[in-house]
Chains A and B, each alone.
Chain A
Amino acid sequence: MIKTTHKNIDWLLILLSVALIAIGWINIYSTTANDFTSFNFQANYGKQLIWIGSAIILALFTMVINYRFYPSFATPIYIIFTLLLLTVLFIGNTTKGATSWFGIGNIGIQPAEFAKYATCLLLARYVSDKDCDLTKSKHLFIALIIIIIPMIFILLQNDTGSALPFLFLIFALFREGLKSWILISGFTAIILFVLLVFLNQWIVVGIVSVILFTILWLFRKIKRNYPGVLLIYALIIVYIFSIETVYNKVLKDYQRARIETLFGKIEDAKGIDYNVIQSKIAIGSGGFFGKGFRNGTQTTLNFVPEQSTDFIFCTIGEEWGFVGSSFVLLLYALLICRIILRAEQQREAFVRVYGYCIAFIFFAHFTINIGMTIGLMPVIGIPLPFLSYGGSSLLAYTLMLFTFLNLDAKTNHWT
């Protein structure tokens, strides 16, 4: 057992997170400050400064706790936050149709952000168990249940955005032995769904058949299991025809509209895709070097909605241009890859799985949020970790990252 020393702390991860928080604050200041002369703690940039202070305290606290605490208390933490998710349904406040936060005095707390942390902990604890084998359907089922319970509660809050990142934990399971075909089926399902937005279901069936039979013919020398192939074929066809029903009956109107605007099936600058258009205008007009700090017309003049929270990337794109926005992308890519790299070097399976889990939570937010602002993803309201204005998300991500830093610093590495 290696004794705790600060030398084992991964300063690169700290540096990356501090850089993102600083960039975030500068851009929140740019969009929410009305003048340079006075400092207002009631404005978003002022409040965010208070949150940053709280995050530092939380980070220190997280770091000094004995690392054994986290696996041991994973289950109670998970239960507490799941229960909070349930409670918020009854006594929570509602914003934009989602009943997702508690108001305590002036501040609002969104338990969904913390539930991600709790889920990562419990999932890591369960999957890292020696006896757990994800190729066995029973164990896989339990792992999926851990992911799905908080998702269901969040979906009940009508907060689809916050539920989506949980699905990315599947990648962590993949690393721990989830059968590849499950992931492949998942991707196939997504591709088929996208195709179905554009094409008639019969055409999609035709395409699938042609591809399948071409593959069969190409690999005709290899011994095959014909009933299995037939089963897959049947499943795909059932899926194609059920999508139609799910798409039209289960999805809500606004969700369908968002998907269709994403693929350019609806165009209406003042309507549904107003946000996306304005977001693309802001980012696109930034050019190579950007318009400069506080010179972004689209963001400072309120054309972009939610510009300090979900659309913070627009401000970066407009004021700092391609240089600034690709720098931020790079910071995220480094952060995520660094976490995975450190996780891979862990002797303790718990730390490794936990690292993968939080890396994919970050990755989910990064992909969905930035993808949304540049028009590659449908509009889904989730924050950009460390950058977006908001206490809950900042504290939750600080908790996630610094728990990992604590675990990482105090456990053994492969060298």
Chain B
Amino acid sequence: MNFKHTYSNRKWVIFSFIISIFFIYIIRLLFLQVFDDQWDLKAKGNALRYLTDYPPRGLIYDRNGELLVSNAISYDLMVIPRKVKLTDSLMNELCTILSITPDDFMHRFNKAKAYSPYVASIFDRQISDETHGYIEERLHRLQGFYVQPRTLRKYLTSAAAHSLGYIGEVNYPEMEKNPYYKMGDYIGKTGIEKSYEEELRGIKGCQILMVDNLNREKGSFQNGRFDTAAISGKSLWSSLDKDLQEYGETLMQGKRGSIVAIEPSSGEILCLVTSPSYKPELLVGRERGRNYRKLEQDTFNKPLFNRALMAQYPPGSTFKLVNALIGQQEGVIDRNTRYSCHMGFAYGNRVLGCHAHASPADLVFSIQTSCNAYYCRTLKAILENRIVYKTTKEAYDAWHKKVLSLGFGQKFNSDLPYELKGNIPKSEYYDRYYGLNRWKATTIISIAIGQGEILATPVQLANLVAIIANKGYYYTPHIVKAIGHKDSLNTRFLEKHYVDVEEKYFFPIIEGMEKAATAGTVRSAAVPGIRIGGKTGTAQNPHGKDHSILVCYAPIDQPKIAISVIVENAGFGATWAGPIASLMIEKYLNDSIERKDLESRIINSILY
């Protein structure tokens, strides 16, 4: 039989139709399942709840093991916007519990939604214990909300606010820079909290729970295979001495300025006082934002301004130490060089004045008595040294390099965020200002006595004394001594930096500084029974009365503390900075103060 169906060929149309549907579906599946990963993310958003396990932040101790900063528990109310069924009753309930307005509610809700509908955002931070209990009981009615425990900082000292710094919620730039941080995380914003953020924060843990379509927890995802445990932050041992820091802040009450003390043998900062300051606990807790704004708006006292690192003062006469060292190194003076001084240094038709003292002065006496003329001549000799240098500019560049080796004019890149570098102008600056070859020693003579363009920060001045105490080297001043364990020293700061001045040139300087303390300008800083060496400074400045500056170290034979004190607009260095330095040294070396009268006079003086 060979009967043919009339329409038999139509089977091919039918087959092709079926097969094309089959291939369309296969291709669609390929795109859905293999090429497009948004569905996977959405599935995770649906079914998984990531509970962050916040590790406790590392503690901060002082150099003697006294606790400065610890942690306190607090609770944040979190919201996952997509899981919230917005109803009037839910809004009313939460508004009542948190005592917020419905507008505020919607504002917070929309903000969280704008960040991500799937990811938890903080709805209300640091809720009180009472509110926390109240919410826990009602959580089943508040779908999409849960309570997240967090650790907050607790300060055991009311001092050292700037050094310790504070933590705050991450902002968008910080989140973009480091994907570790998620909305609502805390991050160190300033001070140690910022520079040691990675050590202190530890590593967040994550617990993955499964939830069903009604947001009920259904156990851990794949038996916790992807969960990670939180790793606690490391503790830090600051180099600060809590008692000294607190004492320094007490002394600086009512005064503007700063005290920086460094242990010369290690570069460890013993205290970093800036005044006016604020109490660190002001920047913790629910009131943080308001307190911060208040501090920020106090433009008269500027309590958020860290003077110890960021205030740049003309160093005044303390800078004579620098020129005395460089002058010797350049071979233009030695300890026997004598310059006469009759109430000042005359150049051209001008005179840079000096006070009445015996003349001529040698190197030691010039420091003891702080002779202006001596250093004008020294600088002139350095810059006009045509035996070694062809031009003033060349001589100046050599001088500049040596000043920088003494820690001036640059940042230490230490563990202190936001330090400023002061100012030691380059020769190019003068070329621009006066014109090429249009300047010479007498044009810029005020840098001889630390005025003019010269600017230094308190920490640079303290470091200068540390260099003198060490007779030629320093360790980068730093504020964290050990990380993780009391004895595991901070390896970043173990390198000795040698300066471009030989050891032998330090002896006359030290002699002069000691004499200044016994029978010279630094008498007010003397401490009975302790050999100290120091140098005063009185920095003229355009903002009113001179700044009172004093740098010193003690004891002379075995230096334990190098210190710089600056009291703004307080007149001569000897008047205010001297006694403060003296009391600080007594406090640190003797641990108790004999001179109660002096102490109370200083504490009770208000200079602004």
Residues of A within 8 A of B (CB): 171, 174-177, 278, 280-288, 295, 297-298, 301-303, 317-318, 321-322, 325-326, 329-330, 332-333, 336-337, 340, 344, 363, 367, 370-371, 374-376
Contacts and interface: CB of A to CB of B under 8 A. Distances in A.
B33 A329 contact: no
Contacts of A336: 18
B250 to A, nearest CB: 61
The 4 closest A-B pairs by CB, nearest first: A284-B39, A285-B43, A297-B47, A301-B212
A329 B25 CA distance: 8
Interface residues of B, number: 40
Q: Which of B11, B29, B40 has the most CB of A within 10 A?
A: B29
B172 interface: no
A326 B34 CA distance: 12
A333 to B, nearest CB: 4
B210 to A, nearest CB: 6
12 contacts: A171-B17, A280-B32, A280-B39, A283-B33, A284-B40, A285-B40, A285-B42, A285-B44, A297-B47, A302-B212, A302-B214, A340-B11
B33 A287 contact: yes
Contacts of B30: 322
Nearest to B28: A374
Q: Which of A281, A288, A330 has the most CB of B within 10 A?
A: A281
Q: Which of B32, B34, B46, B214 has the most CB of A within 10 A?
A: B32
A370 B210 CA distance: 27
Main secondary structure of the interface of A (DSSP, over half): helix
A297 B210 contact: yes
A288 to B, nearest CB: 5
Main secondary structure of the interface of B (DSSP, over half): helix
A281 B33 contact: no
Contacts of B25: 329, 370-371, 374, 376
A6 to B, nearest CB: 26
Interface string B1-36: 000001110110111011101101110111011101
B433 to A, nearest CB: 66
Nearest to A304: B213
Nearest to A343: B11
A377 to B, nearest CB: 10
A51 to B, nearest CB: 27
B11 A283 contact: no
Contacts of B26: 326, 329
A356 B214 CA distance: 45
Given A295-B222, A303-B213, A283 B29 contact: yes
B211 interface: yes
Nearest to A292: B222
A118 B238 CA distance: 89
Contact of B10 (A174, A283, A337): A174
Contacts of B29: 283, 317, 322, 325-326, 329, 374
B373 interface: no
Interface of B: 6-8, 10-11, 13-15, 17-19, 21-22, 24-26, 28-30, 32-34, 36, 38-40, 42-44, 46-48, 210-214, 218, 221-222
B600 to A, nearest CB: 71
B548 to A, nearest CB: 69
A330 to B, nearest CB: 8
B33 A284 contact: yes
Nearest to B2: A414
A340 B34 CA distance: 32
Nearest to A323: B33
B471 to A, nearest CB: 70
A311 to B, nearest CB: 13
Contacts of B11: 175, 340, 344
B248 to A, nearest CB: 59
B14 A340 contact: yes
A333 B47 contact: no
A344 B13 CA distance: 13
Contact of B42 (A281, A286, A326): A281
B46 A297 contact: yes
A325 B46 contact: no
Given A285-B43, A344-B11, A375-B28, 16 more contacts: A176-B7, A284-B38, A284-B40, A285-B40, A285-B44, A297-B221, A298-B47, A301-B46, A302-B212, A317-B32, A340-B15, A344-B8, A367-B21, A371-B25, A374-B28, A374-B32
A286 B44 CA distance: 11
Contacts of A171: 14, 17
Contact of A281 (B22, B43, B218, B221): B43
A283 B21 CA distance: 18
Contacts of B8: 344
A321 B36 CA distance: 13
A376 B31 CA distance: 13
Contact of A287 (B10, B40, B210, B212): B40
A251 B289 CA distance: 57
Given A175-B11, A340-B15, A344-B8, A282 B28 contact: no
Q: Which of B30, B33, B212, B222 has the most CB of A within 10 A?
A: B33
Contacts of A363: 18, 21
A303 B210 CA distance: 12
A13 B213 CA distance: 39
B10 A333 contact: no
B43 A287 contact: no
Contact of A337 (B18, B34, B42): B18
Contact of B43 (A297, A332, A370, A374): A297
